[in-house]
Structure 1
Amino acid sequence: MICLPPSGVNVDLFPWLCWCIWLARNSLTFEKLDLCPEDIICKTLRPAREWQDSQPPKVAQAPNQRRQTSASDQDTVICYTDAAWKPLTGDAGFGWIFQDSTGQTIGQGSSTEPHVASALMAEAIAIREALLHARTLHYSKICIRSDNQVLTKALNSKQHPVEIYGLTLDIETLSSLFSSMQCSFISRSLNISADKLVKSALCNFNSALP
């Protein structure tokens, strides 16, 4: 939901609108204060504009400052990431598989975490964990492949969704530690191995719970 001029807000308003509707619901329930739709919209625009204005300005990088490597480079590690999330419990599993330029698996990892707020957040955590693992293995060039198009688009455009703002900043910081880093979207049919790894990790996590 992009707000058109003259509001001056060009960020996604949906999270802010949901938040303000929730606040309006609380006001009606606990304070008997009934806000009209126009007031709710106005209350939505203000924090969204403040958040937009607080973002650092975008600085165009010179071509030689940050070289985006091709995944076909022989020394580039391909990393397939995936996540599984249970909305009823908030439990999430994360997985990543490293492959060399020939398609040979050279490493993999998985982890789990409770109290994850959404599927998008789980996918972002998976990429962050994969990058952390890649650093411990001293990889210098990496190409992340994810089947979450919303996330890959956000990372490539550096438009940080409010829902995962902190995580995307973490990923951006970690990316700067590699000599080159690329993130691309793939279909789920090409991410089957990572999907199986994630579901196995989440299944084992749930089995270990009392």
Structure 2
Amino acid sequence: MPASIGVASGTLFPWIGWAIWKARNRLVFDGFAASPEETLSSAIRLAREWSKDSKPETSGQIRNRRVELPTPNGATIVRSDAAWSGDGNVAGLGWIIFDPTRHKEFQRRMEYIASPLMAEGH
């Protein structure tokens, strides 16, 4: 992309996709049809905001940081995840329940799951 729009080369593509998705949703849910020019302008604006507000990580920073949020005493916490295989529409589900005195782990295989989103929803 040309530097004249104020966005680094290669960073505009995902924003164009996002702007198209948002424009599609506005059409479907609100009946508002945005022009291609409005959609592209929105993508450029979003890309500029992102590049202005995001700070590059230094080489000493760890990329995958686990953030532990404080929990109230006596709280029960549930963490879950899913994996999905399209080769048979099978999902593997797992969840852990942490309570103040112990934790319990669960897992389950499910069949006839049509998508990764459906697996995560289960």
Kindly indicate whether structure 1 or structure 2 has the higher relative contact order, using CA contacts under 8 Å at least 6 residues apart: 1
Q: TM-score range by the shorter chain?
A: 0.3 to 0.5
- Which of 1 and 2 has greater Rg? 2
TM-score under structure 1 length normalisation = 0.28
Structure with the larger helix share: 1
Decide which structure has greater strand share: 2
